[in-house]
Structure 1
Amino acid sequence: MKGFPGWMFAGVALLLSGCAAMRVYSAPPQPGESETQVIERLGEPTHRYGEGNNHLLEYMTGPWGQATFMARIGSDGRLVSYEQVLDTAHFAKIVPDKFTKDDVLRTIGAPSDTSYFPRMQREVWSYPYREANTWDSVMHVYFDDGGIVRSLQNGPDRRRTPGLGMPGSGL
């Protein structure tokens, strides 16, 4: 088009491609829907986990998103439940000295970040979430070298809480 800069076309194309990748749904999947219908609605899951005769489809909301959704698919291939799992109720299900890494993955999904503290000999998985749907928090799950949960620790999400800054940043 005459008088319409080429960069505007490129910008509009980029914007539209971003919108295509971002899915907006009017309603979450409902129990009884087939696994195929769930995947058509939500896209490919970020992870899949076996659980007896059932399996779980995990939908994380980004590398540091505050929600992870689990779609539980029954042995008949139909949706049993669909729920957000990064909350106090699901963290409370994690039993120190009993739960393994696999148990944690099936309960609250993959972590947003992992780290290792050599002096403690603990691997830590971190999960940002909205505590009581109010506070920006992070739950840390500590594992021993055998992959057993030894403790959980909750604290403020320093990336999202004004005035706290990042440790060691001087902020």
Structure 2
Amino acid sequence: MWQRLLLLWSSLIVAACASYSGSSLKPGEARLEDVQATMGPPAMQWQNPDGSRQLAYPRGPAGFDTFMVRLDSNGKLHTIENVLDEAHLATVRPGMSKEEVLRILGPSDANATAYFKARDELAWDWRYRGISSEPWRMIVLFDATTGKVRSTMVRPEQYLGADPNP
């Protein structure tokens, strides 16, 4: 009896993880319908000039993951990757547009978005796991008039809103 319950519980956990990240989907085989049946509707999506598509699946706002799904021009799954990591964050550069940043990182944490009138600056915020798996925040500061990135910064989450050197 207990073995059956344990097996059922394990199966449910594995199924939940597969739908969370789409890890059960096979590149070259899965189609848009399969992706959406497994992962749900995307938060954002883009159609590329070559016919390929990109879908963003943020798993927040308290989560650490945003999965970017890329489908080829035939509508078949090409890749799924978590883009909230050091490598992707490092590609955001001054001068990029909001659209370019969204295509790299997906939507930011809407609860942490802020506008600073004195600087005409818009701050977008993403939560991610640092190298040591500690929670960190990536903040992208945009010129609110032009919509271009001015600068970026990363900080351990525990220091946001507090002086790290009291």
Q: In which range does the TM-score fall when normalised by the shorter chain?
A: 0.7 to 0.9
- Could you list the per-position Cα deviations for residues 112-147 of structure 1 after superposition, in whole angstroms to 9, with x for gaps in the alignment? 131111122110100000011522100000110211
Counterpart of 1:11 in structure 2 is none
The structure with the greater share of residues assigned to helix is 2
Structure 2: any 5+ residue segments left out of the alignment? Answer: 1-11
Q: Which amino acid aligns with 1:152?
A: T
Q: Please tell me whether the aligned partners of residues 30 and 82 of structure 1 are also in contact (alpha carbons under 8 angstroms).
A: no
1:19-168 pair list within 5 angstroms? 23-25=16-18, 27-32=23-28, 33-53=30-50, 54-97=52-95, 99-112=96-109, 113-144=112-143, 145-158=145-158, 166-167=161-162
Distance 1:152 1:119 in 2: 18
Conservation of the 8 A alpha-carbon contact between 1:46 and 1:58: yes
Superposition TM-score, scaled by structure 1 size: 0.75
| Structure 1 runs, 4 residues or longer, greater than 6 Å off | none
TM-score, normalised to structure 2, is: 0.77
Query: What per-residue deviation string (whole Å, max 9, x for no partner) do you get for residues 36-92 of structure 1?
Result: 111111111122123332221111112231110010111110111100001110011
Aligned residues: 142
Instruction: Look at both structures and tell me which one has the larger radius of gyration over its CA atoms.
Output: 1
Q: CA RMSD in A?
A: 2.2
Deviates more, 1:25-34 or 1:56-65: 25-34
Identical amino acids, percent of aligned pairs: 32
| Structure 1 unaligned regions, length at least 5 | 1-18, 159-163
- Answer yes or no: is the 8 Å Cα contact 1:51–1:106 preserved in 2: no
